[in-house]
Structure formats: structure tokens, C-alpha cells
Amino acid sequence: MTAPAGPVPFGARLAGAMDDHGPLCVGIDPHAALLEAWSLPDDATGVREFGLRVVEVLGGRVAALKPQVAFFERHGSRGLAALEDVLAAARAAGTLTVVDAKRGDIGSTMAGYAEAFLADGSPLAGDAVTLTPYLGFGSLRPALDLASGTGRGVFVLCLTSNPEGARVQHAVAADGRSVAASVAAEAAALNADAEPLGSVGLVVGATVGDAVRATGTDLSAVNGPLLAPGVGAQGAGERELAAVFGAARGQVLASSSRGVLAAGPDAGALRGAAAAAVAEVSAALRPAR
């Protein structure tokens, strides 16, 4: 008797979504200024309404949505309940979600974070979660194992655009490799032989300039998705995306938050901004398509 097939891996599902909708992820970042611009209160009801409106307008139109956990959890348990509702709405819309939590710890604590954001049945689980590897890449093992078992994915911080990040990420270890290059190599090993993409992705800022070259980070070998925040309002366009990612451009899931969300709350304007962003990143990342 043939054993039942397991869940379709996140990398494969994301590759299909990017082919269908373009390589754009729209952030759901209900910070105070955007809530005010959308005439919503800066409380749990406001962040819930904000998130649900984004899902209603953009669900099924972009490859993924990325709720930023911090803007929900700052409102306590009601804010987290709002996040649960937003994630449920995205699931119902058939749109992938990347839960931007940037969690990282060791042992049973890391296992607890993994269960919260990656376990079947958890109301906080999306299709992928962002993680920080700076307690050692091996500390992420509970999340990596659970993601693999449930068909979910992770995006591990590798090269970020904040100036403080370079001191850690560009540092060179005793083996002569930079921290960023080591993180990328760990992801590549986990994604070996996966088709069309592995499910262990990296976060690489679209505005990091020549950091990929300077740190000797081989993004093309990762064989997984590269989440690239910084597109749109933060300044990264076609030139920056091409310069940062080079031959790895086909793996990139560009992320735009304010650049799209600032067009709201009008639904038509929001859809228009997302469509323009999809066209821009598609031209930069998939010029032959």
C-alpha cells in the first residue's frame, strides 16, 4: 500500500505563487502613522481592521502577505488575537503568509517559538516565519525540523540593511568565512536537491549594496527563496535589486510594505499600488518572463 503523501513543501508552493502572481510580498505593518492615515484607531481593533482590509483587497493578487508581529503584539493579547484573525483570513483567501516574528533562542524555548509559528493547528502559524540565527544556526533546529514536518518554511536573517547589522553579519570567523556566508551555506545544505526551491530561505535586504560580494555570500547556491525587504518606499528599485542579487534574482521574493500600504485605505488605489509594485519587481527579477 502506498504511503500517503506529505504536505507540499513551502518552497514549492511559494515558487508556484511567484509564477502565478509575480515575486512580490506585501507587508502588513499597522504602525501608528499608517493607522492614522487610514482613519483607524491605534489599538487592537484598528490593527485587526487594517490587516483584514489588506487581505480582502490583496488576497489572491500577490504571492504572499507578511504581517509584522511587533505591530500586533504591542497591543497585548487582543493584538495577538487580531493577528490570528488576519492569518485565518489569508488562509481562507488562499494566499501564503510569512509571519515576520524574527524569533531565535535555544532548546525548549526555541521549540516553543516553533510550535507557536509553525505547528499545525496553531492560530499564529502562517506558511513561513522569520528567524534570527545569532545564537548559532544550530539553535534553529527545532524550528527547522518542525517546518520540514508540516510543509512550512523559514526565512533566516542573513544580510540586513540596518547599519548595526554589518558588525555581526560581516564579521569573519576562524574558518575565514563571514557570518553571512556561513548562514547562507547552512541554508544551502538544507535545501540541497530541493525542486524548484527549498523551504529554508534567507532575508537579504534589497538596499545592502555590495554587502553580498564583500562578505563572500553565495546566494545562487542557496537554492531557496530570498526575502528582500526594502523595495519601494525604502529606496530599492530595479537597479538595486539587480546589483544586490545578480544571478540569484530568480529566487527573490521582494517585499514592500509602506510603498504599497501608503496608497490605502481606498481599495482601488491599494490594488493599483500593488499591481505597479508587481510589475516593477517582475521587470527587475524576471526580465525574460
C-alpha pair distances (Å), 14 with each of 56, 113, 224, 241, 250: 20, 22, 10, 19, 12
Q: How far apart are the first and last CA of the chain?
A: 42
DSSP secondary structure letter of residue 116: H
Q: Where are the alpha helices (DSSP H) in the chain?
A: 10-21, 32-37, 44-58, 69-73, 76-93, 107-118, 141-150, 165-169, 179-191, 211-214, 238-245, 258-261, 267-285
Record the cell numbers describing residue 180, joined without a space: 553571512
Candidate list 31, 74, 78, 102, residue with the active-site label: 102
Please identify which residue in the block is written with the cell numbers 526594502: 230
- Active-site residue, 66 included: no
Catalytic residue numbers read 102
